[in-house]
Structure 1
């Protein structure tokens, strides 16, 4: 918790820092990459930097953490910290890197706010930073201990499955012939590739196969940028990676994991490529003989765009009490609905644990409908692909 003096200073300066946090993070990344260009080349997502989403996520997390310290001084925002720590661990972030971030972040704060950053103000925000950083280091240290340490391992591609025109699943096994550790349904792995320009870029992809298999499966959607750059790693994987090729993968990470008793009502709601962790969860429910009601909801542009649809239906069909609701914007066909996902008319059982994955507008809409139907907010869990902008967007 913050000291009383620092809490008063942070409370007084939070509006000014919050108003300038976008410019602060812009300056921060400019300084950081000027001093350490290897971080942009080999660690940070160049696409997210170009689009500005990573800056928004950093700004949102800092503001949210400081606000939480003021509003709940006796509690630590473990959900937010856990989400960040899992992502950091999948990238192999080391404790000493927090000192590098601190140096350039506080230099950016001083540049933007100027004389307003008195020694007292600097000390208070320094306390905020290290409370957050040290908490993340502790969580990441535990995650590394559980997974066997940071770093990527070589995996051979044994099968490539064209799920849709823009989604490919890769099935991989350890290139060294060693054992495959288990994972929890809903988790992801980092995949490292070397691009034609020599950059080593890393992206996270959900494990879309059933836990406990001898091979791992992850599914990749080819990202078409539109207003932002195309996804360079997804395009590389689609265009260049074939069976026999070797990729680097991290151990599984991610805090959106299936946690439900054998009779707990479960709702799995997804849209687009958000289907991937939901299919893994559905596979796990089927494999463990889940007896409670399971509601499956998915939205997509069309049946042809619905990746892993056969798995979606097959795993649901193995459950004794499952209801499947597919929504398509066009070409819905028999048994599906036309339009965006709408929970109106869909039964949601008391005590339901809900898991959401898809674009933010989709998850916000579904979450609001679930709350209206009586689902406790604490029982609604979500996963954001890429930088988590839920907090950044208020």
Structure 2
């Protein structure tokens, strides 16, 4: 916890720092990349830097952590820290990088706030930073130890042994290690990082949810991302990575995983490509012959856009107490009117004691969570996975 003196200083300066965080974080990244352009080229997601989402996520994480320290001094925000630690471990982040971040972050704070950053204020916020950084370093060390690898060495050279087209814009890649080693199977709901070398020489990394576990292999599914900036890694995988190609794939990480010891009803709620981790969870439930009540809810643009549509139907049919509810915005054939448009969880009898997993666009997850809480589901039982920077810091998950 923060020292009493630092707590009072941080509480007093939090409005100023929080109000300026939108200026501080862009300046921080500019300073960081000026010294270490290799980090933008080979570690940070260039698309998220270009659209500002990574900067928003950093600002939100710092503000949320500092606020938690002063408002709840005896409770560490472990859910926030665990999510960040898993993301870092999947990228191979190491303890040494935290000092580099601290130096440029505090230079940005001092430049934006000027004389307001007295030595006492700087010392108090330095304490905040190292409380967060040291907690993350410890969590990441345990993740690396649990994976049986030295810190940061999470990437495994793999070969693409199969490629399956799920829809016009979703492809599943099946990979196996080149050296024949046995990869950790991962837990239902986890993801892997995939590192590719792009035409300009950059080695960019993206994270994809595991969608299946064939023998001695891992499957991850990738959606083509149009727009500006387009999904440069996802689109590269679609256009240039065929069966036989080599890929650098990380060990599996992720803190939003199916609780196998919990016998309560499980509800899997997704939209679009958010069905990927849900399919992995559903496949595990079917493979283990789970007797739990399972409710699958999915929303998509149309049948043709719905990845794993037939797989979901097949897996639900294998479970003794499972049901699926699907909504399409633009059905291609005859489709019930009450299942056309956006998903409506009020039309489903969700048990109040259910454990719920969400994945999809942020507005969709916000609306789904609100409906679930209104139905009596406990906030602690609603878990969510975000593709990309986590801009949702208000959830009690």
| 1:360-390 C-alpha deviation (Å, 9 max, x unpaired) | 0000000000001110000000000000000
In structure 2, how many angstroms separate the alpha carbons of the residues matched to 1:263 and 1:116?
A: 54
1:64-111 deviation per Cα after TM superposition (whole angstroms, max 9, x unaligned): 000000111111111000000000000000100000000000000000
Q: 1:286 & 1:341 partners in 2: Cα distance?
A: 24
Task: Determine the C-alpha separation between the residues in 2 that align with 1:376 and 1:392.
Answer: 15
Maintained 8 Å contact 1:91/1:202: yes
Unaligned runs of 5+ in 2: none
Q: Does 1:244 align with 2:244?
A: yes
Match of 1:358 in 2: 360
Task: Sort the Cα spacing of 1:262 and 1:59 in 2 relative to 1 into closer, same or farther, 3 A.
Answer: closer
Matched, 1:77 2:80: no
Q: Give the match for residue 44 of structure 1.
A: 44
Shift of 1:180: 2.5
SS of the equivalent of 1:203 reads: strand
For residue 380 of structure 1, the aligned residue among 379, 382, 390 is 382
Which secondary structure state, in structure 1, belongs to the residue aligned with residue 142 of structure 2? helix
Residue 169 of structure 2 corresponds to residue 159 of structure 1: no
Which is further off, 327-336 or 317-326? Answer: 327-336
Per-residue CA deviation, residues 41-64 of structure 1 (Å, 9 max, x unaligned), is: 000000000000000000000000
User: How far did residue 289 of structure 1 move?
Assistant: 1.5
- Cα distance in 1 for partners of 2:121, 2:210 equals 44
TM-score normalised by the chain length of structure 1: 0.97
- Equivalent-residue separation in structure 2 for 1:171 and 1:343 (angstroms): 34
Are positions 1:180 and 2:188 aligned together?
no
Give the counterpart of 1:201 among 194, 200, 204: 204
User: CA 1:213 to 1:78, structure 2 compared with 1: closer, same or farther past 3 Å?
Assistant: farther
Contact 2:210 2:218 survives alignment (8 Å): yes
Equivalence for 1:367 = 369
The normalised TM-score by structure 2 is 0.96
Residues 284-341 of structure 1 deviation map (CA, whole Å, 9 limit, x = unaligned): 1111121121100000010100111111111111111111001110116456611111
Runs of 4+ more than 3 Å apart: 260-263, 332-336
- In the other structure, the counterpart of 1:259 is 259
Q: Secondary structure at the match of 1:189?
A: strand
SS of the residue corresponding to residue 132 of structure 1 reads helix
Please say if residues 270 and 360 of structure 2, whose CA atoms lie closer than 8 Å, have aligned partners that are also in contact: yes
Q: Indicate if the aligned counterparts of 2:183 and 2:217 stay in contact, CA closer than 8 A.
A: yes
Rounded to whole Å, the distance in 1 between the matches of 2:105 and 2:171 is: 38
8 Å Cα contact 2:352/2:378 also seen in 1:
no
d(CA) in 1 for partners of 2:88 and 2:276? 21
- Of the structure 1 ranges 107-116 and 336-345, higher mean CA displacement relative to structure 2 is found in 336-345
Q: Deviations over 1:193-221 (max 9, x none)?
A: 000000000000000014x7321100001
After superposition, the C-alpha distances for 1:121-169 in whole angstroms (9 at most, x for unaligned) are: 0000000000000000000000000112233111100111111111110
Instruction: Return the alpha-carbon distance in structure 2 between the equivalents of residues 94 and 328 of structure 1.
Output: 43
Cα RMSD for the two superposed structures = 1.4
Give yes or no for the alignment of 1:214 onto 2:221: no
Rounded to whole Å, the distance in 2 between the matches of 1:239 and 1:260 is 37
* Separation in 1, partners of 2:122, 2:354: 45
Q: What displacement does 1:262 show?
A: 6.2
Q: Which residue of 2 aligns with 1:31?
A: 31
Tell me how far apart the structure 1 counterparts of residues 105 and 313 of structure 2 sit (CA, whole Å).
48
Shift of 1:393: 11
| Residue in 1 that maps onto 2:296 | 296
Secondary structure, in 3 states, of the residue corresponding to 1:305? coil
- Tell me, yes or no, if the aligned pair for 1:295 and 1:323 is still in contact at 8 Å: yes
Bigger mean CA offset, 171-180 vs 59-68: 171-180
Mapped partners of 1:368, 1:115: distance in 2 = 43
Q: Classify the secondary structure of the residue corresponding to 2:173.
A: strand
**Distance in 2 separating the partners of 1:65 and 1:118:** 21
